Chain A
Amino acid sequence: MRGCAFTGGLVLLSLALFVTCMGCHGRIGEPNDQDELMRPEEVISFDRLYQQNCSACHGENGSGGPALDLSNPTYQALVDDASLKRWITSGMPGTQMPAFGESAGGFLTEQQIDALVAGMRARWMFKKSAGVAMPSYLATIVGNAGHGEAIFQASCVSCHRQDKQKITNTSYLALVSDQSLRTIVIAGRPDLGQPDWEHVRPGQPLADQDVSDIVAYLHSLRSDTPGQPYPDESAKR
């Protein structure tokens, strides 16, 4: 009986202390949920927006995802704000990039898309000392497919020959636009160890014309009826 009362007293005392502490300044379980209470269209925190809308394809920190690594500084230096905004708002035609803007049936407002662009710039864009002029983001010159094939055979095939890295697959080409081919040729995928325009040919960076030519060559390989079942075997038979 005595021990019981003693224990009870101890429990009560600690409880009283606990509650008093909290009453003064502790605020242990006080809700801190301001973010949760916002309307979804009011959220302009880059981290939350990126986490909800981008990370599943582009990677949690802008790299390592199946889609283009947005944290690639070369990419960030290459692409202009207007294009970036356009792709997020209305999607990128010819690719899997969906439209997120309210105007295109998505859920993001213009402010939120601005916040995404600004956030990417702030995090992942840093000035590189430009030795050689980078090819332009949007194609300005009409490419020559024949010349492109020559460059492809000389500089790309060494890696892209094997089955693993084959990019002339018609199904693959049907899922990427010329613009995204151009982007990847210039910016590379450093997160996967794929070189950019400067390093793809040792000592001889790709010129704007070269990039256009390669894209024109790849474009010429596109099929009208891509993705037919068992393409390899029908060739064999």
Chain B
Amino acid sequence: MRRLKVLYEWFDRRLQLGEPIKEMALHPVPNKTASWWYVFGSAAFVLLMLQIVTGILLALVYVPSAGQAWNSLNVLNHQLTLGWFLRAMHGWGSNFMVAVVLIHMAQVFLFGAYKFPRELTWVLGVFLLLMTLGMAFTGQVLRFDQDAYWGLGIGASIASRVPFVGNWAVHMMLGGPIIAGATLSRFFAFHVFVIPGMLLAFACLHVWMVLKLGINEWPMPGRIVRRATYAAEYHKLTKKDGRAFVPGAVWKDAFFSAAILAAVAVCAAVLGPYGPGGRPDPTIIQTAPKPDFFFLWLYAVLSYLPPSLETPFLLIAPALGIAGLVALPFCAGEGEKSWHRRPVAILMLTSIALAWSVLTHLGTFTPWSPKMTAWSGGSPVPVRYTHDASPLQRQGAIVFQSKQCRNCHSIAGVGGQRGPALDLVASRMTEDQLIRQVLQGGGNMPAYGKNLSPSEVTALVSFLETLHPANEPPAADASRNAAAVLVTPAHQ
């Protein structure tokens, strides 16, 4: 023990780090902030460390070459002992990191912690969020499979919409005219050197400011932040009702970080790594690209926006969003911190969270995408729809499949959701309306007039006419019924 102390002193005389660290560890924090609400920042930092360590371990094997990256990932997955587990840790670590960073940000916003004097801490935090998302996107590219390839295509297509310099932006992003070796190399450089370096530096600065400015006190309704008096008030609070950061508050951080790491490990072990999916050969077009979880909302937005709004949204909305986040502490740097007195903030947070989760949910099952193989593969139209059908109607069911109607329209829950499900179509459209819709299209449906023969249309419509509940007659044109009544007696 004594020798250890001597050793410590030898080092500390040279490093001179003991005193500042001790000061930092023992700095007082308000009692109430030693709370489970204040653990997300440290967890994000711990996850960053995890990502760096697992990333380095993966880089021991990964080959950042367009020709070999996919193969090296499969070697990791299948040939190296527990290589798959490390890939899974890195993949799930990234998911957890984005989630924890977002929760941390929401909590900081909710607690008014961005207000004076912590404006710069918040601004740095915004950049840290952007860099975390940047890491998630570049990481998805490094998993160089079909999704990564076409994801880059989407990225390039977005870049091409920039006015005047679109072509230049595409070439810069791809490192050449097409998605190829140069593209992967530059995304590798960004994912492994540029962004992590900045992320680490910014994160350390962020933590430094948290320690120097003190942890945000628990927001109390009526405790107003004023630039002139805040520092003195905070000082008084920590003196009167505070405790040392170590161990008073930090043990909760430690527990939570360990729990998060354990959760990452369990997810990785049970659910396994992400991909890689199919090989990145652009001539394999039997693919339905999809982004990773945290970009699904964007994927959803891009399919719902009207074409005329798309380019403005893609180019202006991100800039506005970032500007808004950066401007927040300067617009609302003083005043109430408590969520009890900040209804607008609560409303904003809930509506953003709600929109995000709805869009993400939609993104998981992409109701706007045609199911490209529903016409030929999967379950057929169920027997209960065709068993009692006439030969013509049964041919109609075949036409329904062979003309790819099912890629966009589902029957019995199978098929695309781009168009409406047709299980009950006969009870809402008459025969004439069905024929018109098939031939002319409309309402975002292509016109099939050129590609269906009259008998195909007849068969298809006669099949669709059977799709109504047993106890409910199909929709009929009232005027035609009247005409039939008039015609029939004369005929007899």
A positions within 8 Å CB-CB of B: 8, 11-12, 15, 18-19, 22-23, 26, 28-31, 33, 36-37, 39-40, 51-60, 64-67, 96-98, 107, 163-167, 169-172, 174-176, 191-192, 225-229, 233, 236-237
| B372-420 contacts to A (CB < 8 Å) | 373-381, 383, 386-392, 394-395, 397-399, 401-402, 406
Closest to A52 in B: B377
A50 to B: closest C-beta gap in Å: 8
- Contact status A22-B85, CB under 8 Å: yes
Tell yes or no: B255 within 8 A of A by CB: yes
The residues of A that contact B21 with a CB separation of less than 8 Å are none
The residues of A that contact B383 with a CB separation of less than 8 Å are 64, 191
Q: How far is the CA of A51 from the CA of B377 in the complex (A)?
A: 5
**Set A28, A167, A229: member contacting B435, Cβ < 8 A:** A229
Q: How far is the CA of A140 from the CA of B387 in the complex (A)?
A: 33
- Contact status A54-B84, CB under 8 Å: no
A224 to B: closest C-beta gap in Å: 11
Query: What 0/1 pattern do residues 260 to 280 of B give for CB contact below 8 A with A?
Result: 001001101111110011110
- Contact status A15-B84, CB under 8 Å: no
Q: How far is the CA of A129 from the CA of B381 in the complex (A)?
A: 34
Closest to A15 in B: B262
- Contact status A96-B457, CB under 8 Å: no
Contacts A15-B266, A169-B392 known; list 8 others, CB within 8 Å. Answer: A26-B269, A28-B270, A37-B279, A51-B377, A60-B380, A96-B395, A98-B402, A191-B383
Closest to A51 in B: B377
The residues of A that contact B377 with a CB separation of less than 8 Å are 51-56
- Contact status A15-B454, CB under 8 Å: no
- Contact status A67-B84, CB under 8 Å: no
Known A-B contacts A11-B262, A15-B266, A172-B459; the reply to A29 vs B271 at CB < 8 A is: yes
- Contact status B381-A236, CB under 8 Å: no
Tell yes or no: B286 within 8 A of A by CB: yes
Known A-B contacts A31-B78, A175-B455; the reply to A36 vs B278 at CB < 8 A is: yes
- Contact status B88-A175, CB under 8 Å: no
- Contact status A170-B380, CB under 8 Å: no
Closest to B76 in A: A31
B positions within 8 Å CB-CB of A: 74, 77-78, 82, 84-85, 88, 255, 258-259, 262, 265-266, 268-273, 276-279, 281, 284, 286, 373-381, 383, 386-392, 394-395, 397-399, 401-402, 406, 435, 453-459, 462, 484, 487-488, 491
The residues of B that contact A12 with a CB separation of less than 8 Å are 258, 262
Closest to A166 in B: B390
The residues of B that contact A176 with a CB separation of less than 8 Å are 395
A221 to B: closest C-beta gap in Å: 13
**Set B269, B373, B381: member contacting A52, Cβ < 8 A:** B373
Q: How far is the CA of A65 from the CA of B375 in the complex (A)?
A: 12
**Set A30, A191, A228: member contacting B84, Cβ < 8 A:** A30
Closest to B382 in A: A64
B167 to A: closest C-beta gap in Å: 32
Closest to A170 in B: B455
Closest to B281 in A: A39
11 A-B pairs whose Cβ atoms sit less than 8 Å apart in the complex = A8-B255, A28-B270, A31-B78, A56-B378, A65-B386, A66-B401, A171-B392, A227-B455, A227-B456, A227-B457, A233-B484
- Contact status A227-B454, CB under 8 Å: yes
- Contact status A171-B458, CB under 8 Å: yes
Q: How far is the CA of A107 from the CA of B401 in the complex (A)?
A: 17
Known A-B contacts A56-B376, A226-B454; the reply to A169 vs B391 at CB < 8 A is: yes
The residues of B that contact A30 with a CB separation of less than 8 Å are 84-85, 272
- Contact status A59-B265, CB under 8 Å: no
Query: How many pairs of A and B residues are in contact by the CB < 8 Å rule?
Result: 167
Q: How far is the CA of A36 from the CA of B394 in the complex (A)?
A: 34
Q: How far is the CA of A42 from the CA of B398 in the complex (A)?
A: 28
B389 to A: closest C-beta gap in Å: 8
Taking each of A8, A12, A67, A166, which has the highest tally of chain B beta carbons within 10 Å of its own beta carbon? A67
- Contact status A56-B401, CB under 8 Å: yes
Q: How far is the CA of A80 from the CA of B453 in the complex (A)?
A: 30
- Contact status A18-B269, CB under 8 Å: yes
- Contact status A57-B453, CB under 8 Å: no
B75 to A: closest C-beta gap in Å: 12
The residues of B that contact A164 with a CB separation of less than 8 Å are 388, 390
**Set B271, B374, B484: member contacting A56, Cβ < 8 A:** B374
Return the 5 tightest CB-CB contacts between A and B, nearest first: A227-B454, A29-B272, A227-B455, A66-B397, A65-B380
- Contact status B380-A64, CB under 8 Å: yes
B164 to A: closest C-beta gap in Å: 40
Q: How far is the CA of A107 from the CA of B375 in the complex (A)?
A: 14
The residues of A that contact B435 with a CB separation of less than 8 Å are 229
Known A-B contacts A96-B398, A172-B459, A175-B455; the reply to A57 vs B380 at CB < 8 A is: yes
A180 to B: closest C-beta gap in Å: 10
B405 to A: closest C-beta gap in Å: 11
- Contact status A237-B487, CB under 8 Å: yes
Closest to B81 in A: A23
- Contact status B284-A40, CB under 8 Å: yes
Q: How far is the CA of A168 from the CA of B290 in the complex (A)?
A: 48
- Contact status B269-A226, CB under 8 Å: no
The residues of A that contact B374 with a CB separation of less than 8 Å are 56
A174 to B: closest C-beta gap in Å: 4
- Contact status B378-A227, CB under 8 Å: no
- Contact status B454-A29, CB under 8 Å: no
The residues of A that contact B453 with a CB separation of less than 8 Å are 174, 226-227
Closest to B394 in A: A66
- Contact status B84-A31, CB under 8 Å: yes
Closest to A21 in B: B269
- Contact status A36-B277, CB under 8 Å: yes
The residues of A that contact B255 with a CB separation of less than 8 Å are 8
- Contact status B379-A55, CB under 8 Å: yes
The residues of B that contact A107 with a CB separation of less than 8 Å are 286
The residues of A that contact B389 with a CB separation of less than 8 Å are 66
Taking each of B266, B269, B276, which has the highest tally of chain A beta carbons within 10 Å of its own beta carbon? B269
The residues of A that contact B456 with a CB separation of less than 8 Å are 175, 227
B398 to A: closest C-beta gap in Å: 5
Closest to B78 in A: A31
The residues of B that contact A18 with a CB separation of less than 8 Å are 266, 269
The residues of A that contact B398 with a CB separation of less than 8 Å are 57, 66-67, 96, 175
Closest to A168 in B: B391
Taking each of A33, A36, A107, A171, which has the highest tally of chain B beta carbons within 10 Å of its own beta carbon? A171
- Contact status A60-B281, CB under 8 Å: no
Taking each of B262, B398, B453, which has the highest tally of chain A beta carbons within 10 Å of its own beta carbon? B398
